[in-house]
Amino acid sequence: MVPNHCRITIDRRLLVGETEQRVLAQFEELLDEIKASDPQFSGNVEFVKAEAQCYTGVSIEGLRFFPAWLMDQQGPVVLKAQQAIKEAGLPVVLGTYSFCTNGSQSAGVKGIATLGFGPPGKI
């Protein structure tokens, strides 16, 4: 027995500045290449829509698209945070997270200055 369709889910990390349209276009180009070599091939690409129920009982939904973001290391928010960390007697180590955080929404979507704080070497 041969199935007549399949579905794949791809967890793709994003670069700063990538948009939903750009990411979709890259996959659509790949589909077009496959279609060109196999006229019977049919496919489409879309973002997964997630749905969740809040503790209040309200249901929310949204696309599972989490933009990358990066703060300017010489920007005022970063410099103030560094100063506060120094004043607290803690070492200042700048880095980037290699995983998704809520900062994708606050910084990546809303443009709100967002910093992560955690133990050095664990990011």
Domain range enclosing 7: 1-65
**Cβ–Cβ < 8 Å for 96, 72:** no
Say which DSSP state 26 is in: H
The predicted structure's pLDDT at residue 99: 83
Would you state the structure tokens that stand for residue 67, as one six-digit string?
A: 């933009």
> Which residue in 45, 9, 48, 14 sits closest to 27, CA to CA?
45
| 26 compared with 100, residue with greater pLDDT | 26
pLDDT digits (tens, 9 = 90+) for 51-106: 999 999 999 999 999 999 999 999 999 999 999 999 999 999 998 888 888 999 99
pLDDT of residue 12: 87
Same domain, 27 and 71: no
Model confidence, pTM: 0.72
Closest CA to 47 of 16, 18, 9, 13: 9
Rounded Cα distance, 17 and 38, in Å: 33
Angle, CA 77 vertex, CA 72 and CA 83 arms, to 5°: 110
Q: Is 7 found in the same domain as 59? A: yes
Rounded to the nearest integer, the mean pLDDT of the chain is 91
* pLDDT at 122 exceeding the cut of 70: no
The SS3 of residue 49 is strand
Counting residues of the chain whose pLDDT is more than 90, the rounded percentage is 72
Domain boundary among 42, 65, 88: 65
User: Using CA atoms, how far apart are residues 31 and 36, in angstroms rounded to an integer?
Assistant: 9
Beta carbons of 69 and 34 less than 8 angstroms apart: no
Q: What angle do CA 25, 31, 32 make, to 5 degrees?
A: 85
37 plus 80 within the same structural domain: no
Same domain for 61 and 78: no
